[in-house]
Structure 1
């Protein structure tokens, strides 16, 4: 999930001939453990989970021609989306995804809770590994699990009594569906979850506890949906097994008025862009990654296993020498007892299903860290993204890019005179100011696209088209050497609405 040093690798790679490039790629790949669980069980009915295997280079007289600026823009804008809201603390959000893997292992989900008293907004970024199955499935299910945990007990009971169930979350930009046989399994799990909530839900809603309950319950269901049928009649469903064996990290935000909660499992991140009194941008990083750069996380893992495993539980900056994130959903290769892996996973995927030095599982948890931030009028936007973006740019660089984009994107809209009976001289001054300001007009209306463009092609002098075109034209097996899948959501806050919220 972590890209190599992009600048060093790129500067070396671009100067080589084809044969040398292939040798460098082979050398790089031999040092990385790459595993792919190929059983998916998920059918997209549009090209949301698209292929990047076919390169974007054009052959002309036997030589490869890089995509033009217009073709680059088409590639970057393929998955962008925008949603505006008539009221509330979020005015709008932009989102986009760019694949590096084939198929893309990232996904995202956004929606508004329909039954919770505050009609809160939920948004999630999910970064898969070991294949796309787990990320795709939890993106379809997790917001509902969290929304259900946010309901008071009377609304839980009302929902259970409904013959035709009302949707808990109104989702946006939902382009894919789960295959019918899995949908039945998932509906049964969710109904059982709702019944459990009815007996345990409290009148007072605790958002942090609701996040934890929803995430952990879905993770438990991913396991139960494999093991219960197996224990009953020895049957193994390869679709549910592929979801349980692949994994995904997640970053989910809950926004209700001035209240922002962010739950994080793994190494996605959420950053707030704040404007100071001096009109300077500040990046407030809300989340903390669960990886080996987090000393508290390392101490937690070491404390959960015997001292004689200290050298094996974390090796090569990875869990058991294999997994970069130290918390995730799915990934039951690091959670199930070895006996279960031997009987359930090994027959289908081979002996590598059990990691080396696997003595005291579970080694992995899906328990989230949940952060709270009270929004102020100075908080202008929230950026949520998978580590594919954060590997390329810093939080402050991202905030400054979105801040500049906010200033420039107003020029996508027609000019409106500020008042009636305005004098011709004032109109001329307004037009001159607009003409000068148009120089800062961004190339992309969508802020998520703007971030991705600069993350891939940005230099200290601006976006380098040659660099951008080269990186977008690589086939997936080569592209992954330079960058990861990228998923970005930028949510804009309504400062005036937040200003009027009670303190």
Structure 2
């Protein structure tokens, strides 16, 4: 019977996935090899698979309930002997008969589901019985797991969420944060800091005693976590130090006590470049002076791995938000149109990858005559981001790389390496005037989110969340939602059947802004690559989304993973590393809400928002440097 069950599964699987493969344009006709479906997961090509974590070559669509699945559960009967009960197909309500099943009493069936991982796709089916799975692989080596329940999935989604209420009365009222690992350990990191700046450093308005510099950063690591951890520790401090020097210098200016915009931008750029110089160059000087492999492992680790960085800097005096972007993490502004009651999505950064025409043109101008400086959308055919911290293999000369390889560790230099450095940590800085009284908000996220949702969907989802919180809780009942009231005091209320967002604010991985138009049958025109990978039936339908979380960042992640489709959410969260990496990246999301705040709550204190923060001990998802 067991063989018959497996045979049935194999037959259904073959016919179904022939259709999936025919629909998926994953093959390279020129070389007859499979390329990574996701352009961002991870950063390196298959030619360096021994040295780098990468996306397997054939990620296909998620399929549920195709035939019977050869997974088994065990339980203790009256004689305390283990009995095998087969998995039931999702296509029928009747359990498959088993010659070994006990006949003395009926088996109680619960809504339990199995997840079978088979290389580049996975399948779901229902489990019959009360016992645990008898084994974690089947006879073909496929990994068999019991899928999370919706309650367990929610617990995992909220495990690392945090929310803070900012009672300083200076333009920011709240920010929500969440992280969800896919790699083990997670390669993303983050940092937030509010610095009170006295008037001896920065000029103030109306004789105010001080102003605030507020920083939020998300760091998308690759080939390890050490570079992103270094950015968490040091980048904001480097930025604050450079800004301090710039603002102090402006106070002596008789014409204006404020620095000019170009000087502030340059201060942020200098901070990025000085930190990367410390990571990639000063570390080499130190280990060459003291050639210890132990010291080398400690100092060179952040240089050998890499990380994108997205740092936002808000000056409460000028009400300007600067976003410094190195890599392909993204910041998007949500601003409400009072006439329509909807928000408009405005990208505040541009994805800096080899697929971006602007970045490709810059790279070719800096390295004339090198045809492979950008090859297949990647730097020297391997690295996707054109700007990053670390990634010293694209910055060190061949001589330095050979010395490090001989004295310590490492790999041979890329054969295409001619005129390094190819990759820079210098950010592109944008400036935006914030209007706190109108309820502006900004979403910062690593590219794992933007692979799943468009800019418009993200802004619309936050707007949907704000509306739901406002309708559910009155200001008198909860101080954490009191700041929401003024956002909906005027203007039209969007229909619940659609996301409250206006069209025209989407941006793809190349940095091109879409106007919401596409050719017939051209799903890729404005559909994120993970939605294409998962074969979402109706990716443009707002019915996919749901509001279940008190934390706005968690709300975004839940809907990125499937939203109303609970089976998809549970399946994607059940997959362990490294299997999960084929379907989703590490996720780090921050949502910053601007506003005037309540007068009674402006006591200068930043409080933990308990209802939107995970209740956990002092734990961390990964080791610290």
TM-score of the superposition, structure 1-length normalised? 0.72
CA–CA separation in structure 2 for the residues paired with 1:495 and 1:293: 40
TM-superposed CA distance for 1:372, in Å, is 0.4
TM-superposed CA distance for 1:9, in Å, is 2.3
Aligned to 1:99: 181
Distance 1:345 1:12, change over 3 A: farther
Aligned to 1:447: 552
Alignment of 1:96-175 (within 5 A): 96-115=178-197, 117=202, 118-152=211-245
CA–CA separation in structure 2 for the residues paired with 1:120 and 1:266: 23
Distance 1:478 1:449, change over 3 A: same
TM-superposed CA distance for 1:443, in Å, is 1.1
Match of 2:282 among 197, 220, 225: 225
Q: 4+ residue stretches of structure 1 with deviation over 6 A?
A: 16-20, 153-156
Residue-by-residue CA offset, 1:467-503 (whole Å, 9 max, x unaligned): 1111101111110000100000000010589xxxxxx
Q: Structure 2 unaligned segments of length 5 or more: list them.
A: 1-38, 42-54, 72-115, 123-130, 136-143, 203-210, 250-256, 478-495, 497-544, 599-625
TM-score of the superposition, structure 2-length normalised? 0.58
Q: Are 1:380 and 1:495, in contact at CA under 8 Å, matched by a contact in 2? A: no
Match of 1:210 among 255, 267, 270: 267
Are residues 1:321 and 2:422 paired?
Answer: no
Distance 1:407 1:18, change over 3 A: same
CA–CA separation in structure 2 for the residues paired with 1:395 and 1:84: 25
Which structure exhibits the higher relative contact order, with contacts defined as CA atoms closer than 8 Å and separated by 6 or more residues?
1
Aligned to 1:54: none
> SS of the counterpart of 2:387?
coil
Structure richer in helix, relative to its length = 1
> SS of the counterpart of 1:238?
helix
> SS of the counterpart of 2:273?
helix
Aligned residue pairs, count: 394
Are residues 1:401 and 2:461 paired?
Answer: yes
Aligned to 2:331: 270
> SS of the counterpart of 2:170?
coil
Are residues 1:89 and 2:141 paired?
Answer: no
CA–CA separation in structure 1 for the residues paired with 2:272 and 2:448: 23
CA–CA separation in structure 2 for the residues paired with 1:130 and 1:388: 15
Residue-by-residue CA offset, 1:295-325 (whole Å, 9 max, x unaligned): 1110000111131x21x21222211111111
Match of 1:289 among 337, 347, 351: 351
Aligned to 1:2: 40
TM-superposed CA distance for 1:155, in Å, is 6.5
Q: Are 2:246 and 2:267, in contact at CA under 8 Å, matched by a contact in 1? A: no
TM-superposed CA distance for 1:215, in Å, is 0.7
Match of 2:411 among 351, 370, 385: 351
Residue-by-residue CA offset, 1:95-142 (whole Å, 9 max, x unaligned): 000000111000110001234533210000000001000001111100
CA–CA separation in structure 2 for the residues paired with 1:154 and 1:380: 26
Match of 1:22 among 99, 105, 118: 118
Match of 2:322 among 261, 265, 274: 261
CA–CA separation in structure 1 for the residues paired with 2:549 and 2:322: 29
Q: Are 1:409 and 1:442, in contact at CA under 8 Å, matched by a contact in 2? A: no
CA–CA separation in structure 1 for the residues paired with 2:65 and 2:183: 21
Distance 1:297 1:415, change over 3 A: closer
CA–CA separation in structure 1 for the residues paired with 2:175 and 2:569: 25
CA–CA separation in structure 2 for the residues paired with 1:248 and 1:470: 28
Considering only aligned residues, what root-mean-square deviation do their CA atoms show, in Å?
3.2
> SS of the counterpart of 2:582?
coil
Bigger Rg over Cα = 2
CA–CA separation in structure 1 for the residues paired with 2:217 and 2:185: 19
Are residues 1:488 and 2:604 paired?
Answer: no
Are residues 1:341 and 2:392 paired?
Answer: no
TM-superposed CA distance for 1:242, in Å, is 0.8
Residue-by-residue CA offset, 1:166-200 (whole Å, 9 max, x unaligned): xxxxxxxxxxxxxxxxxxxxxxxxxxxxxxxxxxx
Aligned to 1:469: 570
CA–CA separation in structure 1 for the residues paired with 2:277 and 2:236: 15
